Amino acid sequence: MTRPCELTAAAAARAIAARELSPVELTESVLQRAADTEDTLNAFVTRTAEVARARAAQAERDVMAGRSLGPLHGVPFALKDNIDASGVLTTASSALWAERVPAENSAVMDRLTAAGAILVGKTEMHEFAYGLVTPQTANPWAGDRIAGGSSGGSAAAVAVGSATFALGTDTAGSIRVPASFNGLVGLKPTYGVVSRFGVAPLSWSMDHVGPLTRSVQDAALVLHAIAGQDPRDPASVVSPHPPQLGKGSEDLRGVRVGVPANYFFDHVETHVADAVHRATARLVELGATAVDVTVPLTTYMIPTLWGHVAPEAAAAHDDHLRHHPELFGDGLRTLLEAGRMITADTYLRAQRSRSLIREAWRELFTTIDVLATPTVASTAPLRSQTVMRWNDGYTEDITDSLLRLTSPANITGLPALSLPIGEDHQGLPIGMQLIGNHLAEPDLLHIGQVYEAARGDTAPRRRAPLLRGSSESHPPGPHAQIAGAGA
């Protein structure tokens, strides 16, 4: 029997609207799931249980009175801990912000509150989002594997049902990497579509906010709620209002799917590459046309990424680095200090390189509608792993391995959707990344929804097996603070 905490957001919304499920029942199921799993998982920094219960009771009264705020009304969610919620401890998983309680909501928190969604907690992350691992959080599919980062806590919570959906941030792949490793849908919108007001900056020119969900429909629902121009974010853009449930057609006729002949399948695990090729073939069976493409300027991707992220992150944290360097973790402090060494000349060269890459990709998207690639070159690595060693002898730092295939969408600012497409021989999830044209979120959601419906696996059977079935209650671990204040 499916428990409420295992429902997709769309399924929960339908049940609430039909008065077959109470927001109180759903929220209690999610809170109990967190209580059952947190000692093993450590997905949350802070849990807002009492405020969530109060808001669920209000949502139930609203629904019974016929007052609906939309399809997310009464649906529990989690926020990555670099996204502000008024009155709730927001630490960015850093000792530097150990006692920080913002007085104002982030833009996305305001929008989700207006939509009636219920915050159940703030999730663990790589410190200040500068990493792809989230070392403090376990992967619920296999406890000896990383959850991915930097939005690892958000992904793990959704995977096990301690949140129905969650928000993450993505500077080089930090939504899509954990989505891939946890068997979830992860969407990085076009740069500027979702406001970053109230979000701790890492790299101003590459930071994005987006959803981690159990289905493409859920991603569409959440994007519909959080997207919109915001004058408080200088990068905010006017965009077509995203659909709530994607387009209605059931095939992909007329869709041109780019199959990259270079870069995206270089140094990729065989089972990952094979799964993506099978998924691409399925898109063709559904009516799409495969187009072989050579992706331009790939040699410059990683240097261009670091040429922006390293100095921008150092600038964002300059005051803290000068006055409280001891409060940063060793890994983050080293990265920030290295970023200080990037010269203005190097930064300007990176900007020029980025302009050339963007122009070349604009030309690429005159021949295709979407680029289909692996999300990550591997399934989730071991938590103790620091390098990737490929069969041809090539050795790669684990961080570069994890961001190599996702970072092009941050450099170009294009929307990218990660879809679960299967598991490897160890049962670890594999993700396929679909990169779309500028402001093409509706097209990505349509393609993803058609693929997902044809595959027929959006139900709870894809929930992380390690923790499924736990029903006993455990006291919260020492990492979890039960917050009484709410946004």
In 3D, which of 203, 235, 196 has the Cα closest to residue 111? 196
Token duo for residue 173: 């792949």
In which region does residue 107 sit, left (phi positive, over 0), alpha (psi from -120 to 50) or beta (all else)? Answer: alpha
Residue 76 forms beta bridges with which residues?
118
DSSP letter string over 314-362? HHHTHHHHHH-GGGS-HHHHHHHHHHHT--HHHHHHHHHHHHHHHHHHH
Known catalytic membership, residue 203: no
Of 22, 93, 151, 174, catalytic: 174
CA distances from 191 to 128, 202, 409 (A): 20, 14, 9
Known catalytic membership, residue 80: yes
Token duo for residue 42: 């450590």
Known catalytic membership, residue 150: yes
Task: Please check whether residue 134 is in contact with residue 158, taking contact to mean a CB–CB distance below 8 angstroms.
Answer: no
Distance, CA of 267 to CA of 124 (rounded, Å): 30
Of 29, 80, 239, 401, catalytic: 80
Alpha carbons within 13 A on the beta-carbon side of 31 = 22
- Axis-axis angle for helices 301-316, 344-364 (nearest 10): 130
Token duo for residue 306: 């670091």
Distance, CA of 215 to CA of 204 (rounded, Å): 29
Of 22, 86, 150, 151, catalytic: 150
> 370-374 and 429-436: which strand pairing?
antiparallel
DSSP letter string over 31-68? HHHHHHHHHHH--EEEE-HHHHHHHHHHHHHHHHTT--
Q: Whose structure tokens read 């396929």?
A: 432
Token duo for residue 23: 């927001």
In 3D, which of 128, 132, 172 has the Cα closest to residue 152? 132
Q: Which residues are catalytic?
A: 80, 150, 174
